[in-house]
Amino acid sequence: MVRMLPQKKRRLFGPLAIFCILTCLVWSGGFIVFMDQVPRLVEDDYTTTDGIVVLTGGTERLNTGMTLLTQKKAQKLLISGVYRGVELEELLALSKSAPQELECCIDIGHEADSTRGNAKETEHWIKKTGFKSLRLVTANYHMPRSLLEFSFSMPQVRLIAHPVFPEHVKVDQWWRWPGTAALMVGEYNKFLLVWLRQELARQTDLEILK
């Protein structure tokens, strides 16, 4: 009995090792595809949309959204995920490109505290405004997951990605920068979890997963 234990362990270890190797290969392949989806430039900066939505997370995003509104790239702008207690006047003060006359064209949302929450908050805004197209402004590394959430919540809405490019995120040579590498691996894992949740929602139709 004692002599058989090592053999049994080897039999268990073989399939387990193969499973782990295959999982790593699939994960790595998916990561390569994911990195290819992270935008390196703004592909469409000319199309006019009904609305613009900025996901909070830095003044670069806010300034970009304000500039697009000033250029009349949309009728209205939603700033989603604003901390409670922060008012529009404070956000306008942060953005050097925001004329006060645009105040009437800007809405702010205080409900969202996640990318999924941003999508839900924007969905409610879309229903209220009746808009059919959106320009989505967020960081380039955050764009794939944001598009995944937004297209799931609003499949009928045309989405145009408008990434901003934080200086501290070195996407092109991410492997040389530990901070960027950790950020991208974390973002990819979050992307996978969102995809899995959405697939489960489609299969089960559970409201809690939507």
All structural domains of the chain, each given as residue ranges with its CATH number in brackets, are: 51-164 (3.40.50.620), 168-210 (no CATH)
Q: In what order do the strands lie in the sheet with 76-80?
A: 106-109, 76-80, 51-55, 133-139, 158-164
Please give the C-alpha separations between residue 44 and each of 23, 39, 103, in angstroms, as whole numbers. Answer: 36, 11, 25
pLDDT tens digits for range 105-142: 999 999 999 999 999 999 999 999 999 999 999 999 99
User: Does the pLDDT of residue 13 top 80, yes or no?
Assistant: no
User: What CA–CA distance (Å, rounded) separates 176 from 174?
Assistant: 5
Dihedrals phi, psi of 46, to nearest 5 degrees: -115, -25
Average pLDDT over residues 182-203: 96
Average pLDDT over residues 68-92: 89
Give 205's contacts (C-beta < 8 A, 6+ positions apart).
none
User: What CA–CA distance (Å, rounded) separates 125 from 65?
Assistant: 16
pTM listed for this prediction: 0.88
User: What CA–CA distance (Å, rounded) separates 42 from 92?
Assistant: 24
pLDDT tens digits for range 37-65: 999 999 999 999 999 999 998 889 999 99
pLDDT-derived band at 4 (thresholds 50, 70, 90) equals: very low
